[in-house]
Amino acid sequence: MRRCDDIVSAYLKYTSKQESPTNYHLWCILSVIASCLRRQLWIDMGYYKIYPNMYVILVSPPGKARKSVSINTAINLVNHLPEIKVTADSITREALIKALVEATTTLEMDDKRIYTHSSITIVSKELSVFLGKDNHNLLSLLTDLYDCANKWEYRTKNMGVDSLNNVCVNLLGATTSDWLVGSIPLSAIGGGFTSRVIFVVEEQVRCRVPMPKLTPAEKQLRDDISHDLEIISLLKGSFRMTDEASKFYEDWYIQSSNYHIDKKFWGYMERKHTHLLKVSMLLSVSRSNDLIITLDDITTALQLLNNLEPKMIDAFGAAGRSPMALDIGDVSDVIRNVGTITKKQLLKGIWRDVAPESLDKSLLALRQMGFISETLDNKTGNIVYKWIHKEE
């Protein structure tokens, strides 16, 4: 018997007094639900199956939004479940393969068929530690593993070839946008690694709580959520959609477009239907064991993705570009956060990162794009910049 009507709603209530942004808590609990489901549930797409694993990465400036606290709070709910295999922060390609081998699980399906899978969740509160810099091999491995191959082959230390059946990797990580820009190679941007990632971008905490404490009711709610996560970890089989949900998805899929003004987002848009179905599965099991995706599940999942997308491109918008693109990003971040600033103040705050001549070019580019306005304060003689762009 479940104790919560809906795991996600209960978790958001449980974390309502914690400083991290609501979006961080939302996507952390969705990732934890995915870690419980592993490769034991799916949507049958005829020629292939879609599994509920996700790559979720929290992004913010250093120390600004309590990324690590968000991750710890969510993942602690399943630490008592031995069947949920979680890796450490730092891992090599070889160690990740070893973790998959050790995570091999065998169970009996409802049709009496014996089913074996290797499912793990990577939790990395510092993605810079996990991936390192220019770690093409590990990025390629993660990109390859995302699709949950029925048979996945890998080379052993003795240069032989071995294989695993039914692999599944779920990733919950955190980093800064600056690190992503400087460390993920251009080949992984767009159609590669980043198209498989849900970037949850925030800039600051939602509140400040000097001495957070849990009430007895909140402790009970935490235990209830943990109890229900253990229940859903036992689920197995195929989801089905209601007629209303199926019609909505089919209409949306036909009408949707993978076009985006920034071509580095095309890969994500092409995969958006996969992200949509994955999140729909997670929302379904959040409220019920029936493995039925309703119209509300799929429309809510779509809204959650739509809400993230305006900021998602910021997570890797300047990646693979010239240093000028990085300068424009730094200048725009300062003006957007402050709202209104004089050129003198801007130069004082950014001179360590952006040269004066590059600052002028960045300001010109931002004006031409309609992000900022430039005026002259006749009383002081100062040039004043104001952020005027509204997110579409």
CATH number of the domain enclosing 346: 1.10.10.10
Question: Could you list the residue range(s) of the whole structural domain that residue 358 is in?
Answer: 323-387
- What's the DSSP call for residue 187? G
In a domain, 129, yes or no: yes
Token readout for 79 is 């630490």
pLDDT in tens, 251-278: 999 998 766 666 677 888 899 999 999 9
Domain end call among 316, 342, 375? 316
pLDDT at 90: 60
Total number of domains in the chain:
2
Same domain, 312 and 335: no
Give the span between the Cα atoms of 295 and 4, in whole angstroms: 21
Domain end call among 263, 282, 316? 316
Same domain, 310 and 365: no
Neighbouring residues of 343: CB distance < 8 A, sequence distance ≥ 6: 363, 382, 383, 384, 385
Give the span between the Cα atoms of 179 and 171, in whole angstroms: 18
Same domain, 157 and 222: yes
Q: How many CA atoms lie within 13 A of 270 on its CB side?
A: 11
pLDDT string in tens for the chain (392-residue length): 899 999 999 999 999 999 999 999 999 999 999 999 999 999 999 999 999 999 999 998 877 788 999 999 999 999 999 899 998 666 677 888 888 989 999 988 888 889 999 999 999 888 777 776 656 778 888 899 999 999 988 877 776 778 889 999 999 999 887 776 666 665 566 558 888 999 999 988 888 888 889 999 999 999 999 999 999 999 999 999 999 999 999 999 999 876 666 667 788 889 999 999 999 999 999 999 999 999 999 999 999 999 999 888 766 655 555 567 778 878 988 898 888 999 989 988 888 788 888 889 999 989 988 899 999 988 888 999 999 987 64
* Cβ(174)–Cβ(125) below 8 Å: yes
Using a CB cutoff of 8 Å and minimum separation of 24, what contacts does 157-164 make? Answer: 157/94, 164/100, 164/101, 164/104, 164/118
pLDDT at 302: 97
Beta strands in the chain (DSSP E): 41-44, 49-50, 55-59, 86-87, 104-108, 114-124, 151-155, 161-165, 167-175, 197-201, 237-238, 240-241, 292-293, 340-342, 372-376, 383-387
Burial class of residue 250 (count of CB atoms within 10 Å of its CB; 0-12, 13-18, 19+): exposed
Token readout for 181 is 């820009």
pLDDT at 190: 56
Residue type for position 199: F
pLDDT at 369: 87
pTM beyond cutoff 0.85: no
* Cβ(353)–Cβ(331) below 8 Å: no
In Å, how far are 32, 295, 389 from 195, measured between CA atoms? 21, 25, 26
Same domain, 205 and 261: yes
In a domain, 392, yes or no: no
Same domain, 383 and 267: no
Same domain, 285 and 382: no
Same domain, 76 and 142: yes
Same domain, 207 and 348: no
DSSP letters, 192-212, are SGGGGEEEEE--S-S---SS-
* Cβ(283)–Cβ(300) below 8 Å: yes
Neighbouring residues of 109: CB distance < 8 A, sequence distance ≥ 6: 115, 236, 237
pLDDT at 204: 85
Neighbouring residues of 91: CB distance < 8 A, sequence distance ≥ 6: 99, 122, 130
In a domain, 145, yes or no: yes
Angle at 243 between CA 241 and CA 244, to 5 degrees: 100
